[in-house]
């Protein structure tokens, strides 16, 4: 499950998403809800792929196949190896081309492929290769870094989309199959079971992922973005992360299909994901942060940025304020606050308690629709 922005290609075998005790790469930037980016957006970057898109094959009752070989035979033509190139710079600011690998799967017969954001993030070129040798170049890329999901569009027709299963029906102990492009060596399959459901993990960047399926199926660099399948050959998860540490085996994670599908729909239909937005950069406060910045508290959520004309700006927030509760619910970490905001509604008014130096204050902010990326 290799990231695109690889710094040391020689370490590719250990460049996987991981919990903080595992070696690996960061999935997302620092925990925060950023204001709109300062560079101007790429023209057409928010143009939808298909505003009227619906899955061609959706959740439904499909009979289980007799064995794992039948599952692999059914879905393999719809799974793709993704190879990417990204430009990096050495210490002398000379451009270098780095390579990375990941996986994807067909969700629409007209060339729409699902993968992970970290597979295609920052890529100069993205090449999609199917098991029959057909190769395409990605023409459109839509990503959602917050959930580590992405869709890419290639100029292809008559592809075979995979069926999407209902991940809520999974049972612990049920057989699953992970198919992808491990180590960039081509499409292969690994079997395992569902070990846990509704798992939350923190990857090495501090970003927290929710509603994951834990599986014992072997997950390796290059597997990112590939499908996790039930015995009916339905996609019930998207392989995304692995716990990597000495003495730990068989702890891979996939984004559940029920969590992923609404995000995928928005990326295809709108070009980006719309969420409630407060307009602040955030950092969890701990003893180290409190000492470094001379804060009055050693817990809560530090505001590091306030976007102009955002709900936060209109509510009077300033950089250095520390949010401690949202609608009377205690906020201990930035992830607590991010999740609470995203669980709210656009247009909802929230009561926010915060500290400004030695003074405890309360204000209200009305969430708005997140701006286009």
Q: Do 165 and 232 contact (CB within 8 A), yes or no?
A: yes
SS3 at position 129: strand
Going by C-alpha positions, the residue among 60, 306, 105, 56 that lies closest to residue 224 is: 105
- DSSP bridge pairs for 350: 365
18 is catalytic: no
Going by C-alpha positions, the residue among 161, 159, 163, 162 that lies closest to residue 61 is: 163
User: In angstroms, rounded to a whole number, what is the distance separating the alpha carbons of residues 200 and 197?
Assistant: 9
Catalytic, out of 118, 188, 336, 370: 118
Catalytic, out of 12, 18, 195, 224: 224
342 is catalytic: no
333-366 residues labelled b (16+ CB within 10 A) or e (exposed): bbbbbbebbbebeeeeebebbbbeeeeeeeeebe
Catalytic, out of 144, 148, 321, 336: 148
Rounded to a whole number of angstroms, the distance between the first and last alpha carbons of the chain is 26
Joined tokens for residue 223: 């597997």
Give residue 80's Cα distance to chain centre.
19
Q: Do 200 and 176 contact (CB within 8 A), yes or no?
A: no
Going by C-alpha positions, the residue among 342, 367, 346 that lies closest to residue 278 is: 367
The residues annotated with a catalytic role in the active site are 118, 148, 224
């Amino acid at each position: 499950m290799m990231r695109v922005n690889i710094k040391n290609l020689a370490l590719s075998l250990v460049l996987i998403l991981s919990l903080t005790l595992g070696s690996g790469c960061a999935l997302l930037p620092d925990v925060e809800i950023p204001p709109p980016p300062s560079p101007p957006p790429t023209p057409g970057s928010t143009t939808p792929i298909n505003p009227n898109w619906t899955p061609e094959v959706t959740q439904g009752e499909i009979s289980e196949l007799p064995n794992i070989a039948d599952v692999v035979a059914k879905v393999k033509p719809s799974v793709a190896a993704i190879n990417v190139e990204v430009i990096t710079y050495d210490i002398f600011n000379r451009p270098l081309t780095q390579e990375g690998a990941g996986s994807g799967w067909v969700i629409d017969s007209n060339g729409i492929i699902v993968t992970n954001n970290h597979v295609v993030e920052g890529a100069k070129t993205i090449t999609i290769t199917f098991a029959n040798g057909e190769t395409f170049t990605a023409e459109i890329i839509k990503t959602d870094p917050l959930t580590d999901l992405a869709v890419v569009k290639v100029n292809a027709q008559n592809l075979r989309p995979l069926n999407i299963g209902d991940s809520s029906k999974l049972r612990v102990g049920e057989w699953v199959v992970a198919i992808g492009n491990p180590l960039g060596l081509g499409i292969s399959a690994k079997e395992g079971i569902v070990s846990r459901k509704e798992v939350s993990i923190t990857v090495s960047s501090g970003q927290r992922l929710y509603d994951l399926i834990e599986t014992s199926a072997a997950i390796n660099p290059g597997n990112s973005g590939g499908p996790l399948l039930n015995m009916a050959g339905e996609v019930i998860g998207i392989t995304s992360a692995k716990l990597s540490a000495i003495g730990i085996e068989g702890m891979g994670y996939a984004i559940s299909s029920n969590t992923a599908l609404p995000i995928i729909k928005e990326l295809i239909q709108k070009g980006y994901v719309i969420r409630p937005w407060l307009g602040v950069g955030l950092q969890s406060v701990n003893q180290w942060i409190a000492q470094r910045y001379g804060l009055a508290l050693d817990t809560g959520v530090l505001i590091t940025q306030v976007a102009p004309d955002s709900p936060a700006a209109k509510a009077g927030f300033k950089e250095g304020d520390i949010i401690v509760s949202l609608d009377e619910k205690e906020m201990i970490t930035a992830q607590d606050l991010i999740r609470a905001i995203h669980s709210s509604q656009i247009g909802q008014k929230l009561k926010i308690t915060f500290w400004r130096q030695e003074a405890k204050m309360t204000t209200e902010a009305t969430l708005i629709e997140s701006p286009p990326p």
